[in-house]
Amino acid sequence: MKFLIYFFLLATSFAFFASGKDALDWWQTTVLYQVYPRSFKDSDGNGVGDLKGITQKLDHLKDAGIGALWLSPIFTSPGVDFGYDISNYTQIDPLFGTIEDLRELKSAAEKLGLKLLLDLVPNHVSNESEWFKKSVQKIDPYTDYFVWVDPKKDENGTRQPPNNWLSDFGGSAWEWREERQQYYLHQFAVQQADLNYRNKHVVQEIKDVMRYWLDQGMDGFRVDAVTFLFEDEQLRDEPLSGDPGAEPTDQSYLKHVYTQNQPATFDMVQQWRALLDEYSSKDHSTRVMFTEAYADLDNTFKYYGTKERPGAHFTFNFFVIEYIKNTSTADDYENITSLWLKNIPAGDWPNWVVGNHDQHRVASRVGPGLVDAMNALALLMPGTAVTYNGEEIGMEDTFISWNQTVDPQGLNAGPQRYQLFSRDPERTPFQWDNTTSAGFSTSNTTWLPVNSNYKWLNLQKQQEDEDSHYKVYKQLVQLRKTKTIQRGTTHTAAVTQQVFAFVRALDGEVTYIVAMNVGNSSATVDLTRSFSGLPATATVVVASVGSTLVRGTNQTTSALTLAAKGFVALEGRT
């Protein structure tokens, strides 16, 4: 508590775990690593990543200090949304391999002490699934597996969709089917039909899918697009959002009060948690659920459930991704980190996400100079850290021309606007080394092109270099093992317009001071003006690539100089 009192007056303070003497669970101290299977490692030379490829590269995860990985979908799929349009939840798509390959991956991961999570996509299935085909034909029990609605007629008697709801990928969320003379709902691509969660068979089917994979030994799920599970039963039109940048066909044109975060959704997540807990209690190894919900703060926290009826172990914290840009000031960093820390309900576990397969790469979104600082933010703030494959080496977005574009969200936007929406740039193959296709594939052509910077931006080079993003990343992961980072209090401050800093402290343990200069020029700051109780000098334990702050040297906390975009983690005792 001592530190909380010390720091309280000057910086924003959070005492998460200060009082907690309980052991932390595996998912709380770990780094969760997202593997995008199509782009991780191609073992058979067809230009697309696969399960055997992931198994071959598990050593990399171990070397980086990762403790758990989640795989974007590997199930049978026509591939319209690259696996997020599943046609059979319990079969592996031959593109990625076989169930034996998954079992091998699981057992290899287990040997290395890595947990393995799958992606559960409960909101929608492919229109090529048996469920959908039978539903179109009204074959029971599938008849009402989807959200089928009769058309409206306009004044000329012309058929119209039942309301104004829009798809996340642009355009109406309703698609007409002649056979049924009805529209079905699709909140993503036309080929991704929304399941009807008001149908008890659907609820049971998804629980059976969870059980199937848990029985195969999986450690849990990342749950896709959970906000979309239920919709307003009265099918009311959604109000306009007032977003001046949105076209009438863009999903952001409307405010999603009737299609997202409906009350029943939270209950469903709690039901899933009960199912997971059933498995966890059998062998005392926690099966986890991390939910994907791009939502406002209130709704985000609702996915955690309550103390009596817990929901997700955590729901991804997308606030840094959504609000931090290359123009952000230290105040922005302070506001967005303290927003989360201040508001997270007591007992709920924080987490930090800086990248995923739906968001531009950190190097391109925030700037190449801030790669190390952003990794430090994710890895040293209190809670679980999440890394998207490639962020540990600071991979950059790849330019993808309109002709090369394959992402449905990009394609739907058309040649003029595709770059505003396409997620292809952040999905290009992992850059392992400087050989053919960056060591990702033996094929010269890959499903998305390899970034031409792979000759100098690749893992092997960063392992060989004295100073590299990867080396910094590994040092940060090591710091996470300390009691201070795992359990310490957190104090954040915009020290100046350019320098954001946070201090992690725990009674009887070393204190860590993390400072990042997000500005464009070097800056010398007095950290003691923002944080009282700091040691006068502290030792450099990690510094960004190219920093003049040498590891092991002592720095004065009242006059710390950071290069433009530089970050440093200092260790000291008070």
Rounded to the nearest 5°, which phi and psi values hold at 486?
-75, -35
For the CB of residue 290, give the shortest distance to ligand NOJ in the complex, in Å: 12
Distance CA 253, CA 242 (A): 7
Q: Which residue number, 42 or 224, has a Cβ lying nearer to ligand NOJ?
A: 224
Pairing between β-strand 75-76 and β-strand 124-126 as defined by DSSP bridges? unpaired
For the CB of residue 222, give the shortest distance to ligand NOJ in the complex, in Å: 9
**β-bridge mates for residue 13, sequence order:** 491
Name the burial class of residue 336, with classes exposed (0-12), middle (13-18) and buried (19+) by CB atoms within 10 angstroms of its CB. buried
460's CB contacts (< 8 A; 6+ apart) are 432, 433, 434, 439
Q: Is 292 a catalytic residue?
A: yes
Nearest partner of 397 among 370, 374, 366, judged by Cα: 366
Q: Which residue number, 225 or 513, has a Cβ lying nearer to ligand NOJ?
A: 225
For the CB of residue 85, give the shortest distance to ligand NOJ in the complex, in Å: 8
In the set 250, 292, 396, 424, the catalytic residue is 292
Q: Which residues lie near ligand NOJ (CB under 6 A)?
A: 81, 84, 121, 188, 224-225, 292, 357-358
Q: Which residue number, 38 or 302, has a Cβ lying nearer to ligand NOJ?
A: 38
For the CB of residue 370, give the shortest distance to ligand NOJ in the complex, in Å: 24
Quote the crossing angle between the two packed helices 371-380 and 469-479, to the nearest 10°.
Answer: 10
Q: Looking at 275-415, which runs of residues are DSSP E strands? A: 288-291, 314-315, 351-353, 384-388
Residue nearest ligand NOJ, CB atom distance:
84
What dihedral do alpha carbons 372, 484, 5, 549 form, nearest 10°?
-40
For the CB of residue 293, give the shortest distance to ligand NOJ in the complex, in Å: 10
Residue with tokens 């699934």: 129
Q: Which residue number, 229 or 560, has a Cβ lying nearer to ligand NOJ?
A: 229
For the CB of residue 96, give the shortest distance to ligand NOJ in the complex, in Å: 16
Nearest partner of 337 among 358, 355, 323, judged by Cα: 323
Q: Is 140 a catalytic residue?
A: no
Distance CA 187, CA 175 (A): 10
b/e string for 265-287 if b means 16 or more Cβ within 10 A?
bbebbbebbebbeebbeeeeebb
For the CB of residue 292, give the shortest distance to ligand NOJ in the complex, in Å: 6
Q: Give the other-Cβ count within 10 Å of 18's Cβ.
A: 18
Three-class DSSP category at 90? strand
Residue with tokens 């100079």: 369
Q: Give the other-Cβ count within 10 Å of 433's Cβ.
A: 15
In the set 168, 224, 334, 372, the catalytic residue is 224
For the CB of residue 121, give the shortest distance to ligand NOJ in the complex, in Å: 6
Residue type, 64: A
Active site residues: 224, 292
